[in-house]
Amino acid sequence: MNALKGFKTIAGVALVMVALQLLNVATGYSLMAFGLVPRTLPGLLGIITSPFLHASFAHLSANLIAFLILGTLVTIEGVHRFVTVSAIIILLGGSLVWLFGFTGIHVGASGWVFGLWAYLLSRAWFHRSWGNLITAGVVALLYGGLILGFLPRQGVSFEGHLFGALAGFIAAKVLLSTPRSRFNAG
């Protein structure tokens, strides 16, 4: 039942993205004004809004399937975990893009997708179990090509990919690593 609730949550977020894309198209892409523009005061709002906006239906569809799959895999730990991991990815990754990203409008869920990808891979390291290891192996096999997204390309926010993945790793470290004792036994 928990997996079904998790998928419904992810599907609901995906439907919001589709609805926003339809509205964006119907209004001549007016929602792009809510994208993340680095080092600008209006661009700060884009830290939160930009993952839900896309430059085209092709852009949206490129992110949507991976988002549905990776997001659902994170919800196996519960919807609350998905929300927490997503908040870290969106806020930390977006803030880093705002600070260091190229000048221009950054939109799209790809930073979020890269963050979920990195979280699932890192989860196997910080919370070792067969289930996490198998999940990480499947994620690496299916989405190993995402690593090419770290390469700079014209019209692609590779900074969003890089900082989203970094935020996903940090989310795993913060949420899953066990504190080490300050004292050595012996």
pLDDT in tens, 119-167: 999 999 998 888 888 888 888 888 877 776 666 666 677 899 999 999 9
Show the domain range for 39. Answer: 2-176
How many domains is the chain partitioned into structurally?
Answer: 1
Please indicate, yes or no, if residue 77 is contained in any of the structural domains. yes
At residue 109, the 3 state secondary structure works out as: coil
Please indicate, yes or no, if residue 118 is contained in any of the structural domains. yes
User: At residue 22, does pLDDT exceed 90?
Assistant: yes
CA neighbours closer than 13 Å in the CB half-sphere of residue 95: 7
User: At residue 186, does pLDDT exceed 70?
Assistant: no
Please indicate, yes or no, if residue 116 is contained in any of the structural domains. yes
The C-alpha atoms of residue 154 and residue 156 are separated, in whole angstroms, by 6
pLDDT in tens, 82-118: 999 999 999 999 999 999 999 999 999 999 999 999 9
For the chain, the helix, strand and coil percentages under 3-state DSSP, each to the nearest 5: 75, 0, 25
Q: Give residue 45's pLDDT.
A: 97
Please indicate, yes or no, if residue 183 is contained in any of the structural domains. no
Minimal CA–CA distance to 85: which of 139, 165, 178?
165
Please indicate, yes or no, if residue 79 is contained in any of the structural domains. yes
DSSP state for residue 101 in the 8-state scheme: S
Please indicate, yes or no, if residue 43 is contained in any of the structural domains. yes
Q: Give residue 150's pLDDT.
A: 63
What is the token pair recorded at 143? 């989405």
Please indicate, yes or no, if residue 148 is contained in any of the structural domains. yes
Whichever domain contains 95, its CATH number is 1.20.1540.10
Tell me the pLDDT of the chain averaged across its residues. Answer: 90
Question: What is the pTM (predicted TM-score) of this model?
Answer: 0.90
Helix-then-strand count for the chain, H and E: 8, 0
Please indicate, yes or no, if residue 93 is contained in any of the structural domains. yes
